[in-house]
């Protein structure tokens, strides 16, 4: 066995980068209309419909933050 192993940052993160990558996809604002359709007829669907733009901004900020964290860990 070789004593010279290359350091692999994504391998040492215990999957944290992949969690952030999945959260990036979940918090993508483009999924907000689908969320409203899936939750339609419920109180959560009414919340999404009534507060669409503030939620879109919040989801956008969260998506950018989680993308930044995933990129820092995985790249």
What are 6-43's pLDDT values in tens digits? 656 555 557 888 999 999 998 888 888 888 888 888 99
Number of domains the chain contains = 1
**Predicted pLDDT of residue 54:** 94
**Predicted pLDDT of residue 40:** 86
Per the domain annotation, does 6 fall within a domain?
no
CB 13 within 8 A of CB 75: no
**pTM for this model (two decimals):** 0.70
- What DSSP line would sit under 37-54, residue for residue? HHTTTSHHHHHHHHTHHH
Per the domain annotation, does 39 fall within a domain?
yes
Backbone dihedral angles phi then psi of residue 56, each to the nearest 5 degrees: -65, -40
Per the domain annotation, does 1 fall within a domain?
no
**Predicted pLDDT of residue 74:** 87
Show the domain range for 18: 14-74
Per the domain annotation, does 5 fall within a domain?
no
**Predicted pLDDT of residue 7:** 59
Of residues 35 and 70, more confidence is placed in 70
**Residue 31 to residues 7, 44, 54, Cα–Cα distance (Å):** 36, 15, 14
């Amino acid at each position: 066995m070789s004593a010279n192993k290359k350091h692999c940052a994504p391998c040492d993160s215990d999957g944290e980068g992949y969690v952030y990558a999945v959260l990036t996809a979940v918090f993508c604002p483009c999924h907000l209309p689908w969320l409203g359709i899936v939750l339609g007829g419920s109180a959560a669907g009414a919340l999404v419909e009534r507060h669409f733009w503030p939620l879109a901004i919040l989801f956008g900020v969260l998506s950018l933050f989680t993308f930044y964290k995933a990129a820092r860990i995985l790249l």
